[in-house]
Amino acid sequence: MKINNCGREVTVDKPPQQAVSLNQASTEILLSLGLADRMVGTATWTDPVKPNLEDENRKVERLADNAPSLERVLEKEPDIVTASLNNTLGDGGVTTPQRLEKLGVPSYVSPSECSKRDAKSVDGARKSRLEIDTIYQEINELAKIFGTPAKGTELVESLRARMRKAADTAPKNDTSVLFWFANSESPYMAGCCGAPGIISRTLGLKNVFEDSTEEWPQISWETVAARNPDVMIIGDLTRRSETAETATEKIKFLKSNPVTREMEAVKNDRFIALAGGAMNPSIRTADGTELIAARLQKLDPTR
Block means of pLDDT (10 residues each) for the chain, length 303 residues? 92 96 97 98 93 97 96 98 94 95 96 71 74 97 98 98 94 90 94 95 96 93 97 89 85 97 96 92 96 89 58
The architecture in CATH of the region 2-161 reads 3-Layer(aba) Sandwich (3.40)
The architecture in CATH of the region 170-298 reads 3-Layer(aba) Sandwich (3.40)
Spell out the residues 6+ positions from residue 88 whose beta carbon is closer than 8 angstroms to its own. Answer: 22, 23, 44, 67, 94
CB atoms closer than 10 angstroms to residue 65: 16
The boundaries of every CATH 3.40.50.1980 domain in the chain are 2-161, 170-298
Model confidence, pTM: 0.91
Question: What pLDDT is recorded for position 117?
Answer: 61
Spell out the residues 6+ positions from residue 132 whose beta carbon is closer than 8 angstroms to its own. Answer: 159, 163, 198, 202, 285
Question: What pLDDT is recorded for position 171?
Answer: 82
Question: What pLDDT is recorded for position 267?
Answer: 96
In the chain, alpha helices (H): 24-32, 54-57, 70-75, 97-102, 132-145, 149-169, 195-203, 221-227, 247-256, 264-267, 284-298
Rounded to whole angstroms, the Cα distance separating 273 from 292 reads 9
